[in-house]
Structure 1
């Protein structure tokens, strides 16, 4: 939403989006604050099963005939400078007329097929693992065909690694790094530790769920053994049954579910953990936490795609034991990490505010005209 807010200051935006459930229609009112038109379409997973011959499920479940028609009508009616498509899965909603217009910008975010492939490796259920593997391969071949046949003016990425990987894999050079932005909040000096650790994210997203379970089972027990009063907050909507069961067994692990605001949890948190082992692109939760002035402890995967340095802007670990040792030391000696915490906050303030990110992107778009 913040990207749209800043982008709308110098541009008229016609917004077309697929939503997963009826609750998401409520965002239309907020979107209209920044967009001239807002069109939302319900994703139909059931109907997608009959279209699998046309492409992978992650794509065809998002292809909606009325959406494609409306986008084309808008393109013909208005003086459109650029058509920005978020994710290759959405390309099936773009008409041939637009694809040949030399006005198409494709925001990759992650290397989607690689993300699916990595997820498959972590799934123990043989059938689910097979499904993810097949989807990953089908998505790769779909993307490869699109990039070969379509006229894409510019490919944008949020991660340095993903941008470089894409250039090597598909032989494209018309790429641009457009990092994720965040908001900066008031920086507060260190206070006595609350012994509180938090992980923020949508818990229905498989890498987040996997990370929360791994930390709860392999890291937090070691922390709790050393600091019995410590608490681990899993903050995010759609927690799984397994996460809820973990919370029921250990009252020091708190699963919040959906919240109207996460401000209070950032307020009470001493450090934010990013225990991810899968997922592509820059993790928004890293930038968000640093923008709140919080100390971050992450796996190397959690900060992939960034230039953040261990010991200077955040802390990283390579094992459950090391992760726990760092968390214990931070909780017991929080003021000693003031320099690292301040370093992360200042890096985000200088380079990753939404205002700075959008201004650089607009400059590049103007150069391409």
Structure 2
């Protein structure tokens, strides 16, 4: 199929779960023979490393700059435009709209829009051409609450409530125009189906199981591992909760525990705020496998967010047992005590960690069960097949298949 795929960020380097998902789906679909044009609006310029990582999988890579976040135009639009804040930040982009309109002059089997917050520049051209499209929604954005607005000051609470209301209206408007709205989890699919008025197929988050197959964790190492993109506030909250409330309780029982904290945009202020030498500030690590081999478990104390977490899937694929919360394993068909260990309480999480670290054989059993689950349900090849099935449900594709038959 000939696919036009739009993104509000470059999917390389894979510094977040969303970027990782995009890169691997693009690669998997290209390997299945589909011809993809990727249209990107990016806040960062295209560098040679990103070009080299992406172009082998694409017919065309088109990257347009996004205006600066702190521009006067963005500020005024956030306050006064009818669109929600995220849609405004990523929208009102005339060059992007014009380039998209030009691309619609070509015939496409599939037009795929990622994220409702990126949709505003595409709405008018799609309507003009009566072009069917699918929309993938990684989270129910209007329900994220603190995950979207945590960086705003407390006095802006009335604005956040207003903006959530704007986003609920925006979601309904966008979803009802899409031929299909794709969810990442079954739970989100129920909400998206209600808002769109049509069934919402699921394309799961995945992991490159083969990449992590050789990892054998060190269950006696007493090292915990966490990774996140710290431009996303739920990951900031997770680190803060861990270091303020959970690790001090754990260290009181087991002072030998180390905590390796990895990820993109790790704030320098964290190193200054928490100076305990048992905290290993790793920053962005392009390949986690060596660190996974030197870790006993993956600790993800997530209290905010949505969808399913690629960081958790990657840990399971590496055979690392996971200790987390309900939010950390949201969207996954896993059982507490079998595939992972979890709680919502600081003291109980510290107790779980202490007991697990004292029992390497139990860690091995949990890690083995998690790895088997991910291999069976969440390899990227399975996700690509699910997305391909969505394509075949589109009316134009059904007609072509019928003619070919």
Q: Which deviates more, 170-179 or 284-293?
A: 170-179
Cα deviation for residue 154 of structure 1 reads 0.4
CA distance in 1, matches of 2:231, 2:197: 33
The alignment status of 1:166 with 2:192, answered yes or no, reads yes
The alignment status of 1:344 with 2:370, answered yes or no, reads yes
Taking a change above 3 Å as real, the CA distance of residues 125 and 67 of structure 1, as seen in their structure-2 partners, is closer
Q: Which deviates more, 283-292 or 63-72?
A: 63-72
Contact 1:119 1:132 (8 Å CA) reproduced: no
Contact 2:181 2:196 (8 Å CA) reproduced: no
The alignment status of 1:35 with 2:58, answered yes or no, reads yes
What is aligned with 1:319? 345
Of 200, 204, 229, the match for 1:179? 204
Contact 2:230 2:263 (8 Å CA) reproduced: yes
CA distance in 2, matches of 1:12, 1:276: 38
What is aligned with 2:118? 90
Contact 1:236 1:258 (8 Å CA) reproduced: yes
Q: Which deviates more, 104-113 or 26-35?
A: 26-35
What is aligned with 1:356? 382
Cα deviation for residue 356 of structure 1 reads 1.4
CA distance in 2, matches of 1:348, 1:51: 43
CA distance in 1, matches of 2:368, 2:55: 36
Cα deviation for residue 102 of structure 1 reads 4.9
The alignment status of 1:8 with 2:35, answered yes or no, reads no
CA distance in 2, matches of 1:250, 1:222: 14
The alignment status of 1:206 with 2:249, answered yes or no, reads no
Contact 2:100 2:125 (8 Å CA) reproduced: no
Cα deviation for residue 116 of structure 1 reads 3.2
Aligned residue runs from structure 1 range 278-293, under 5 A: 278-293=304-319
Taking a change above 3 Å as real, the CA distance of residues 192 and 315 of structure 1, as seen in their structure-2 partners, is closer
Cα deviation for residue 57 of structure 1 reads 2.5
CA distances 1:128-172 after superposition (whole Å, capped 9, x unpaired): 544433332222222223334x2x11010111211112233x252
The alignment status of 1:219 with 2:241, answered yes or no, reads no
What is aligned with 1:134? 162
CA distance in 2, matches of 1:117, 1:302: 16
Task: Give the 3-state SS of the residue equivalent to 1:233 in structure 2.
Answer: strand
Of 238, 247, 255, the match for 1:228? 255
CA distance in 2, matches of 1:105, 1:160: 18
What is aligned with 2:5? none
| TM-score calculated relative to the size of structure 2 | 0.84
CA distances 1:232-284 after superposition (whole Å, capped 9, x unpaired): 1111121224422233x211112222334323221211110111111011111
Q: Unaligned 5+ residue runs, structure 2?
A: 1-22, 398-405
Q: Which deviates more, 223-232 or 346-355?
A: 223-232
What is aligned with 1:75? 104
Cα deviation for residue 367 of structure 1 reads 3.5
Taking a change above 3 Å as real, the CA distance of residues 139 and 351 of structure 1, as seen in their structure-2 partners, is same
CA distance in 2, matches of 1:355, 1:123: 36
What is aligned with 2:95? 66
| TM-score calculated relative to the size of structure 1 | 0.91
Taking a change above 3 Å as real, the CA distance of residues 258 and 334 of structure 1, as seen in their structure-2 partners, is same
